[in-house]
Each structure stands twice: as C-alpha cells, then as structure tokens.
Amino acid sequence: MCSYENLPNHEFSNMKQDHKVVIVMVPFPAQGHLNQLLQLACLISSSYDLPVYYVGSATHNLQAQVRANALNPSDIAKIHFHDIPTPKFASPPPDFNALSKFPSHLQPSWDASMLLREPIASFLRDISSKSRRVVVVHDSLMSYNVQDVSSLHNAESYIFNCISVFTLYCLISLSMGMSVQLEEDFLKKLPSREGILTDEIRNLGALQSPHMDIRSGDIYNTSIVIEGEFLDLLAQVASKQNKKQWTIGPILPTKLDRVSTRENICLDWLSKQPPRSVLYISFGTTTSFSDREIKELALGLEQSEQKFIWVLRDADRGDIFTGEARKVELPEGFEERVKGVGLVVREWAPQPEILAHSSTGGFMSHCGWNSCIESITMGVPIAAWPMHSDQPKNGFLVTEMLKIGLIVREWEKREELVSASTVKNVVRKLMASNEGDMIRKRAEELGEAVRRSTEKGSASRVELDSFIAHITR
C-alpha cells in the first residue's frame, strides 16, 4: 500500500511528466450524494496532489460548494468544477403533508440528470485525449450516464457507494433472493422494505443496473471498525462480480480545528453550554414535517427540559436557489419559553462542527448515511428517526447492531404521528439517564476507534493509499 510520499522518485516524476492520472467525480444530484463526493474529491486532491474534476449541472456544482461543511476552502479551490448544461427541470416545493416522507418532488431534477450521458461522454473523450489515464469515480445512480467509459482505451470507472455497507448488503441479498445472514432476533426486528422508495426511483435504479458491470471496483465511505462484519458478508454475496473493493471512510475531515475559531450562531451558543449537554436535531435535506409533527416535536423538546439546537428547515427543492422557503410555524411563545435552553436555527448549519463540539451529547437524526457517519466519527449517540430509502436500515445498524443510539419511532409505525410524550421520553433517556450515559460511552469509544482508523498507517488510510496506488499504477 502506498501514497505519493512513499513512491520512488522516478515513478513520481513519470506521473508528473505524462500528464498524469486525472480523476473525474460524477455525483448524483441530491445533497447527501453531492457532499460525499466533494469530500472525497478534496481528500484525494489535498492528500495525493492529483487533478480532480467534479462534474454536474451548474446548479448542483454550486450547491455542493456553498454547503461544503467542514472542508477547507483552499482544498475546495483545487477542485476543477465542470458545469454540464442540464435540461430545464421543474423545481416544486416539497409536500409537507404527504403521508410518505420520500422526496418525490425531487424526481424532475433526477429525471433531468439522466439526460447527461452525451455531454459527460464528450467531456470524458476530451480529457482522455490529454491524459495517461482517466479514472471516473461515480455514484451508483449515475452508472447509465458514465457508460461510455468502456469505449475509451485509457479510462476506467469505480462506483462510490453513498450508503452503509449494511444497507447495501441487505439490498443485494434480498434482490438476489438470498436470506440476510443475521441472528434470528435481529432478523425479526429488521425494518421491512415497504414504503422506502417510489416506483419512479426504482425505475431510475433499474436504468443503472445494466451499466454497473463495467466498473473496475467499489469504494465505501465506511470503516472496517464500524462495518467489518458486513464487509465480509457483502464480499460473499458479491464474490461472483470479482470487483476490487476499498473501504476508505470516513472521508470527512476528522480533525475539525476550526471548531473553536469559526463564527457561527450554533457554535457560539454551544460554547456557552456544559460538556455533552446539548441534543442536536436535524432531519437532513429531504425531509419535510407537517405542522402537526412540528408542534409535537417542539412540545416534546420543551417537556424534556434538555438543552437543544434544532435546525428547522424544509426539504430541498430540486434547485435550491429558486423559490421561497416555507416559514415553519412553531407553537405560540415556544422560542421565548425555551430561551437559554434551546436554540432554533432556520438556516444551513455547520453539522460536522456541531457534532464535533464538546457540548454536543446527542443527535436526533433521520439517519441518512452522511449524518450517521458524521455522528459516529465524532462519537455522538443518535436518536434515530428514519424517513425513507436507506435510512431505516441505517437506523437499525446504529441502534441494534452498534448499540450507539435509541429509536424514536419504529419503521412499522411510520404513518403514525409521533407524540410529544414519545419525543420527551426518548430525549430524556438519551440525554439524562444511566442507559443514555452507557450509549454515549459506547459512541465515544467507537468514534475514537474510527478516527484512529483514518490516521497514516491505519486501516482506512491504508485502503485509500491502496486505491491511489492502484489507479496511478
């Protein structure tokens, strides 16, 4: 396994001379996906001095940049953002009263992204004519768009998986008609696949399948420390594919030195609170709560009498730069009553820095993989409230397998209103009970082990060095 600093001098000079290995990132246009590939782009560019292109619509490239939490601006500046003209798409507001929490309103933007095959192929042809090798790292949901890699003699592609290995293992096993290899007790509790996706997104996934075989390998944003058992199980079900695999996560920066210096209302407020006393609440970029749900959550937080920061935002539109944001109404007098105890924030918040702050002691989350990996890495336990897609399985991994969280609402009861008393009880259990303290201790120990795994010579860094050595061979 080697990184640039370990390469013999003649190899290093050869790489520089023949215009290099060029890496092209092709993300899927949803925040959790854009963010992870930008993190990977910065990690590779800053650690190995390789040119990295980030390819997408102008709107989504800009979205990735303005929301680049915890990334060093000088690292982002090294990335070549290549804007691809995208057909116009509708960008309706989310339906906050919809029974299903799946963000169907984003479908027009996803449909438009499936029309990018030709402009991506044109870009790849151009860049391959000037490079020794082109390495395309793409979201699995962009497999259709990058299929022309196979027609270029000096290009190869790798799928970057934006979901947990546990979730991926369950999906592949069930799609192949194989049973999930878990203990009987776990199997009984495993959340069903009901209600996680729409037919439209299933069809979009099916469009990718015929083009996934051209990849040369798979990259996972997880650590062997977190999911070693499931990496082994995944290797068994995927053994026929004979693809190389690298487990390089977490790819987010783990030493957030700017936590104490960055000016932000959340971080300033946190700095005035006791250690591990604050519950951070955020449901990501694809969840909208109804007025009734917001009222119950607000009352539950108030009744818990625990300190909190609540990021209260509606789900993203397909184009986040258009349309008016919904003004979410809180119970009358709520913010006044919780002053000093709770902080409600309605703008974008620096989530990794909040989770890394010493005053943060818990995270109420929808369990998107981005949020899970950030919380796990920073050693913060999770109050899991999954909404759709991979989130129910991620929530199960966190609460049942890793035992670093509590479930707020069982997946089978997803269409029931979560009451204020339920919220109050879960928050108190996580933040102010012996059981919560034990969960927090496990989360902190796991976080420490995960952070260590990214250091030079440790598991995740060795895997990343191995991937770089492979693509620069």
List active site positions: 33, 139
| Structure tokens, 272 | 């005035």
Q: Which residues are CB-contacts of 453 (< 8 A; sequence separation ≥ 6)?
A: 223, 224, 225, 459, 460, 461
The residues with which 139 forms a beta bridge, in sequence order, are 160
Sheet (strand 244-247) strand order: 80-83, 52-56, 21-26, 133-139, 155-161, 217-220, 244-247
3-state secondary structure the chain: CCCHHHCCHHHHHHHHHCCCEEEEEECCCCHHHHHHHHHHHHHHHHHHCCCEEEEECHHHHHHHHHCCCCCCHHHHCCCEEEECCCCCCCCCCCCCCCCCCCCHHHHHHHHHHCCCHHHHHHHHHHHHCCCCEEEEEEEHHHCHHHHHHHHCCCEEEEEEECCCHHHHHHHHHHHCCCCCCCCHHHHHHCCCCCCCCCHHHHHHHHHHHHHCCCCCEEEECCCHHHHHHHHHHHHHHCHHHCCEEEECCCCCCCCCHHHCCCCCHHHHHHCCCCCCCEEEEECCCCCCCCHHHHHHHHHHHHHHCCEEEEECCCCCCCCCCCCCCCCCCCCCCHHHHCCCCEEEECCCCCHHHHHHCCCEEEEEECCCHHHHHHHHHCCCCEEECCCCCCHHHHHHHHHHHCCCEEECCCHHHCCCCCCHHHHHHHHHHHHCCHHHHHHHHHHHHHHHHHHHHCCCCCHHHHHHHHHHHHHCC
Torsion of the alpha carbons at 196, 348, 423 and 380, rounded to the nearest 10:
90
Sheet (strand 278-282) strand order: 342-345, 307-311, 278-282, 360-365, 382-384, 405-407
